[in-house]
């Protein structure tokens, strides 16, 4: 799944952790990709072909999710915020499990499709390098256009949930203020 799909989870999660800033939830959604890029730059992880067990392996995804949950539990002093941030980090692995492998190396902007000739093998490690790999391979079976539509739809759904949350919060504040004004007039 691309960044747009991962960010949609962060937007939708805001209603469950109102004390967590939206930017935190958005970053949590694609935190594993931030790790993969960082680890790739410093040489800890290799290419997509060799997999990214330190950032995207199931075991390490659980570890990164737990670390994020504990960190934000401490920062926000809210168990709910910590749990939600941790779950958003882990949602990245779940979405990648559904969509991977993603054939970006064979993508063509001129035709807006990827052509790999045959389905790519799974690429998400369960533990570390040379451990079993998994991936349901959704992107092996749909075009780049369909994948883009899917991600945009996810983003629109995440945005709708976030906007609904904002509207409800505004109504709560307005009714509280109206209640305070009524009490002060009596």
Tens of pLDDT, residue by residue over 121-132, are 777 888 887 888
Q: Tell me if 32 sits within 8 A of 55, measured CB to CB.
A: yes
Q: Report helix, strand or coil for 128.
A: coil
Alpha-carbon span 55 to 99, nearest angstrom = 17
pLDDT for the residue 123 = 79
Q: Which helix (H) or strand (E) holds 114?
A: strand 113-114
Please tell me the total count of domains within the chain: 1
Rounded to 10 degrees, the C-alpha dihedral 95/99/101/105 comes to -100
Mean pLDDT of the chain: 84
Alpha-carbon span 39 to 12, nearest angstrom = 28
Contacts of 159 (CB under 8 A, 6+ apart): 8, 11
Tens of pLDDT, residue by residue over 12-67, are 999 999 999 999 999 999 899 899 888 888 888 765 545 678 888 899 999 999 99
Task: State pTM to two decimals.
Answer: 0.83
Residues spanned by the domain of 181: 3-185
DSSP string, 47-72: -GGG--HHHHSHHHHHHHHHHHHHHH
Parallel, antiparallel or unpaired: strands 124-125 and 113-114: unpaired
């Amino acid at each position: 799944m691309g960044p747009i799909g991962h960010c949609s989870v962060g937007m939708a999660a805001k209603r469950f952790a109102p004390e967590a800033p939206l930017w935190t939830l958005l970053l949590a959604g694609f935190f594993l990709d931030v790790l993969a890029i960082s680890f790739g730059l410093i040489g800890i992880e290799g290419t997509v072909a060799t997999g990214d067990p330190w950032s995207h392996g199931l075991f390490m995804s659980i570890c990164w999710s737990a670390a994020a949950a504990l960190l934000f539990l401490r920062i926000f002093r809210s168990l709910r915020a910590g749990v939600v941030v941790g779950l958003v980090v882990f949602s990245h692995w779940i979405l990648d499990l559904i969509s991977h492998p993603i054939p970006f190396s064979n993508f063509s902007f001129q035709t807006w499709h990827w052509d790999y000739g045959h389905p790519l093998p799974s690429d998400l490690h369960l533990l570390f390098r040379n451990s079993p790999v998994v991936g349901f391979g959704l992107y092996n079976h749909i075009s780049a256009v369909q994948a883009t539509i899917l991600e945009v739809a996810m983003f629109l759904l995440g945005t709708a949930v976030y906007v609904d949350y904002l509207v409800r919060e505004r109504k709560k504040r307005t009714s509280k203020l109206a209640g305070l004004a009524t009490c002060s007039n009596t």
